[in-house]
Amino acid sequence: MSRVVLLLVALLLSGCAPKEPPPPPAPVKSDLQVKREKFFGVDAANDPAIDWRSTGLGVKILVAGDGPSPKFADRVRMHYTGTLADGTVFDDTRAKDKPVVFALSRLLRGMTDGLGFMKTGGRAILYIPPSLGYGSMQAGNIPPVSGLIFDVELLEVLPGE
């Protein structure tokens, strides 16, 4: 009987021992944050220098520029390097040492929107989510549903034709 009593006392006392506090709750990430991390990596998703727009476009201004901003009907002369989040370069006008001229209206929506925030002489990194890029289509060596990162230098705004 005394063993049973000792066992009951031991069980009761073990329930009274201080317990380790529960770990703090893990921070909850928003859906937007999860998507940014998926398409552009954790570092870019958490970079305070990137201005994330409501469309999902991220703009990181490297050089502000002081000339005019392009309008939708304009053409732009620019240098750019396009990469995926893993660093794979899919196009690079700097490597070819030849800037390109595009009608702004003919570019990917993310590129059009991003260039619209820039001024001539400016340089920025544009983080373009799939919804503003190629979406679910494969484009050359760019897999479907890829985030695109463009290091863009706006050299000149040319009037539309």
Give yes or no for residue 39 having a pLDDT over 60. Answer: yes
For 116, the token pair is 């619209």
Residues near 75 by beta carbon (within 8 Å), at least 6 away in sequence: 101, 102, 103, 104, 157, 158, 159, 160, 161
Mean pLDDT of 35-55: 94
108: CB partners within 8 A, 6+ apart: 128, 132, 133, 134, 148
CATH assignment, 50-161: 3.10.50.40
Summarize pLDDT for 63-119 with one digit per residue, the tens.
999 999 999 999 999 999 999 999 999 999 999 999 999 999 999 999 999 999 999
More confident residue, 160 or 32: 32
Give the closest residue to 128 by CA, choosing from 46, 37, 59, 29: 59
Cβ 57 vs Cβ 126: under 8 Å: yes
Average model confidence (pLDDT) across the chain:
90
The pLDDT score that the predictor gives to residue 101 is 96
pLDDT in tens, 58-67: 999 999 999 9
